[in-house]
Amino acid sequence: MIEQTKDLVKEVVIVGGGSAGWLTAGVLAAEYLVGNHELNITLVESPDVPTVGVGEGTWPTMRATLKRMGISEYDFIRECDASFKQGSRFIGWRHDSASGRKDEYFHPFTAPAGFDRFDPSQQWQKIRDKISFADAFCPQAEISRHDLAPKLSSTPEYSFALNYGYHLDAGKFAEFLRRHCTEKLGVTHRQDRIVAVESDSNDYVSALKLESGARIHGDLFIDCSGSASLLLGKYYGIELMEQRSILFNDSALAVQVPYLDPESPIASCTHSTAQGAGWIWDIGLPTRRGVGYTYSSAHADEAQAEHALRQYIAPALNGQSVASLEIRKIRFNPGFRRKFWHKNCVAVGMAAGFIEPLEASALVLVEQSAKFLAEQLPPTRSVMKVVENQFNNKMHHHWLRIIDFLKLHYVLSERNETTYWCDHRASSSVPETLQQTLATWKCRSPWRDCVGYADELFPAASYQYILYGMGFESCSLPWGLRRPTEPDAKKTFFENQNNRERLLRTLPSNRQLINKIRDVAVNAAL
């Protein structure tokens, strides 16, 4: 029993809205406010700070997060202009564009068939020249090529035939979450500017002074103020550990591309197309495409990047003027904070750090942080230090794993036409942990031994999809439980092929399923 009630954590204050702020508020509120716990959650945000929303993609974990908050999946899809994402399609990452060799590979969200029983890459090595790794043991790559949905219209919300996340409109998503949090979960919303931070004798934040003259007192403050990092960065001075020497991209140009035909197919995966100084993302939403070029300003200037982006967009407009499209320019400093939790302040989202939007790691880190806070929220200040250390250790691990995983996409490339790609393979830019891991994977492929945390962001299957999609070779071990028998491997291979053909026949397109979901809402309103 907690005796010192003055030490209780009863007031949680979230600084900043957007996806990070409202996701954190929603996950916490669903855990504590709905259960009638004595906890108050207040979110304060400036009325004139726009949502950045780079990438607009999620991991499959978002399904559990939304469900945890009590959100209807179909309401979310309708109101956030969302679509189904089944993974990523990497185009031109392996070979130079001038080589004439067209290449692509997939990173699906569904694990290879048989992955829980054996390492499928062992038998695939024998047929690698005949079929890609993703196609050999997973139907999702072919499903994505046909822009199909991951489930039937009769499948319940959040259930699936193939694992999936979402593409979404970040601005609409933040507004949708705000309404849900304030109207259904009891979160207090204040729109005001923070003009000063007040602290107690122990240098714990005690209150925020607002432009209106009001003060918001709190016991725990969650910094979701974006790259400004008002509390952790500016007030406490926790420095950003730059990662520009490893992952070079520090700029992005983003544009919304309309469909010429409102019934155009909606892509089932993020398209990531390699360029001379970075890569272009292409995300299909029901009403438009979100397209952007993330690049290194040390390897290309803004004019060069904009020219490449407009060239990429031009074919989709079928001769219409590309110049009329408004391009938004974004600058970011790739890196993460030395600490993520300091005293009674926790940074979530871009306030904690940001790396290029490859593999949509930004929102999944927000989910991880919010989930940790909901499950490990310190009941008193006296135990806060213990939780702080746990959070910092876990998030530091996640950031290092993300950096290694993203760098993996670059170091395996054979592109040589620009210094950008050559510099990515220079040993001085490759973390020692990744160099050591790659040396290990030449002898044995990543499988069960690849996982560090139970909730690891990138499971072993993800590493296999990237490695073998990019042409990496691992030795086939003649021993151990990881090696399947040839009959078992062949059986799994043919079962996957049959499953793929069945899904191709039965699954609706992304567009058809989303139209069906929208029609249900229209009919219900009549």
pLDDT score recorded for residue 2: 43
Mean pLDDT of 464-485: 76
Q: Which amino acid is at 141?
A: A
pLDDT score recorded for residue 484: 60
The more confident residue out of 43 and 103 is 43
Half-sphere exposure of 522 (CA within 13 A, CB side): 6
Q: What percent of the chain has pLDDT over 70?
A: 92
In angstroms, the CA 346 to CA 221 distance is 6
In angstroms, the CA 86 to CA 164 distance is 5
pLDDT score recorded for residue 310: 94
In angstroms, the CA 321 to CA 298 distance is 30
Nearest to 138 by CA among 461, 474, 476: 461
Lowest average pLDDT, out of 95-104, 385-394, 406-415, goes to 95-104
Nearest to 105 by CA among 466, 523, 489: 466
Whose tokens are 């204040």? That residue is 190
Mean pLDDT of 69-75: 97
Q: Can you point out the beta strands (E) in 237-326? A: 240-242, 251-258, 270-275, 278-284, 288-295
In angstroms, the CA 374 to CA 39 distance is 12
The more confident residue out of 431 and 318 is 431
**pLDDT per residue as tens digits for the range 228-268:** 999 999 999 999 999 999 999 999 999 999 999 999 999 99
Q: Give buried/exposed letters for 125-147 (b at 16+ CB in 10 A, else e).
A: eeeeeeebbbbbbbbbbbbbbeb
| 71 confidence band (pLDDT: 50, 70, 90) | very high
Lowest average pLDDT, out of 36-50, 306-320, 336-350, goes to 36-50
In angstroms, the CA 45 to CA 228 distance is 13
Mean pLDDT of 296-318: 94
Mean pLDDT of 217-236: 97
Nearest to 268 by CA among 363, 354, 161, 177: 161
Answer for the pair 343, 204: CB distance below 8 angstroms, yes or no.
yes
Answer for the pair 85, 267: CB distance below 8 angstroms, yes or no.
no
Instruction: Provide the terminal-to-terminal Cα distance of the chain, rounded to the nearest Å.
Output: 54
* List of residues 6+ apart from 210 with CB closer than 8 A: 44, 190, 192, 193, 194, 195, 216
Whose tokens are 């607009």? That residue is 56
Answer for the pair 392, 341: CB distance below 8 angstroms, yes or no.
yes
What is the per-residue DSSP string for 140-160?
A: HHHHHHTTB-SS-TTSPTT--
Answer for the pair 464, 112: CB distance below 8 angstroms, yes or no.
yes
Nearest to 472 by CA among 213, 94, 127, 104: 94
Q: What percent of the chain has pLDDT over 90?
A: 79
Q: Is the pLDDT of residue 8 over 50?
A: yes
Q: Give buried/exposed letters for 62-92 (b at 16+ CB in 10 A, else e).
A: bbebbebbebebbebbbbbbbbbbbbbbbbb
**Helix-strand-coil percent breakdown of the chain, rounded to 5?**
40, 20, 40
Nearest to 514 by CA among 77, 86, 158, 172: 77
In the structure encoding, which two tokens stand for residue 112, read together?
Answer: 């290879």
**pLDDT per residue as tens digits for the range 270-291:** 999 999 999 999 999 999 999 9
Whose tokens are 């202009």? That residue is 81
Nearest to 90 by CA among 465, 460, 435, 364: 465
Chain mean pLDDT for the chain = 91
**pLDDT per residue as tens digits for the range 365-391:** 999 999 999 999 999 988 999 999 999
**pLDDT per residue as tens digits for the range 126-158:** 889 999 999 999 999 999 999 999 999 999 999
What is the four-CA torsion angle of 124, 129, 134, 140, rounded to 10 degrees? -130
pLDDT score recorded for residue 526: 38
pLDDT score recorded for residue 482: 55
Q: What is the pTM of this model?
A: 0.93
pLDDT score recorded for residue 10: 93
Classify domain 7-81+166-244+334-385 by CATH architecture. Answer: 3-Layer(bba) Sandwich (3.50)
**pLDDT per residue as tens digits for the range 336-366:** 999 999 999 999 999 999 999 999 999 999 9
| 453 confidence band (pLDDT: 50, 70, 90) | low
Mean pLDDT of 225-230: 95
* List of residues 6+ apart from 34 with CB closer than 8 A: 70, 185, 186
Tell me the angle at which helices 18-32 and 170-184 cross, rounded to the nearest 10 degrees: 30
Q: Is the pLDDT of residue 294 over 70?
A: yes
pLDDT score recorded for residue 122: 82
Q: Is the pLDDT of residue 467 over 60?
A: yes
Q: Is the pLDDT of residue 7 over 90?
A: no
pLDDT score recorded for residue 455: 73
pLDDT score recorded for residue 3: 45
Mean pLDDT of 411-435: 96
In the structure encoding, which two tokens stand for residue 242, read together?
Answer: 């730059």
Q: Where are the domains of the chain?
A: 7-81+166-244+334-385
In the structure encoding, which two tokens stand for residue 487, read together?
Answer: 């009959």
